[in-house]
């Protein structure tokens, strides 16, 4: 018997149903190079916008001087590009992908997945 799939995070709800799981899985595979944890578990996905043939993902930085922000942006964009190449229906218009960092929103440990927060002692 296969275990039940994990529930999808709320931030993927703006996407068409067919893209929700692939996008969530793609971003879960993006690892913060400093902390060695998935960006979704760290609570670094600030927002997702889908519309007007664009998918925009706004990430949060764990600090105002995040030295690895370029790596996070590139890894997230690569993961999304690969996921959409495999899972976007042929009849769906091409999507412009945009991943950026919201430097104005402060990240706090409360954004982390509870299990990760506990494991890291927060």
Q: Looking at residue 2, what is its pLDDT?
A: 47
Q: Is the pLDDT of residue 117 over 50?
A: yes
Helix (H, G, I), strand (E, B) or coil at 122: coil
Q: What pTM, to 2 d.p., does this model score?
A: 0.90
For the stretch 26-75, pLDDT in tens is 999 999 998 999 999 999 999 999 999 999 999 999 888 888 899 999 99
For the stretch 67-112, pLDDT in tens is 889 999 999 999 999 999 999 999 999 999 999 999 999 999 999 9
5 — pLDDT class (breaks 50, 70, 90): low
Q: Looking at residue 6, what is its pLDDT?
A: 67
Output the CA–CA distances (angstroms, integers) from residue 63 to 13, 68, 106, in the order listed. Answer: 27, 10, 8
DSSP secondary structure letter of residue 16: -
Alpha-carbon gap, residue 43 to 111, rounded angstroms: 5
Q: Looking at residue 122, what is its pLDDT?
A: 82
Q: Looking at residue 1, what is its pLDDT?
A: 52
Alpha-carbon gap, residue 81 to 16, rounded angstroms: 16
């Amino acid at each position: 018997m296969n275990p039940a799939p994990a529930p999808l995070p709320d931030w993927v709800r703006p996407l068409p149903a067919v893209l929700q799981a692939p996008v969530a899985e793609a971003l879960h595979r993006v690892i913060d190079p400093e902390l060695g944890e998935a960006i979704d578990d760290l609570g670094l996905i600030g927002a997702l916008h889908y519309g007007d043939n664009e998918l925009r993902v706004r990430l949060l930085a764990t600090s105002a001087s995040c030295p690895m922000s370029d790596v996070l942006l590139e890894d997230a964009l690569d993961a999304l590009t690969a996921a959409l190449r495999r899972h976007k229906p042929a009849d769906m218009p091409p999507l412009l992908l945009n991943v950026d960092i919201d430097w104005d929103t402060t990240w706090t440990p409360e954004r982390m997945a509870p299990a990760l927060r506990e494991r890291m002692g927060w």
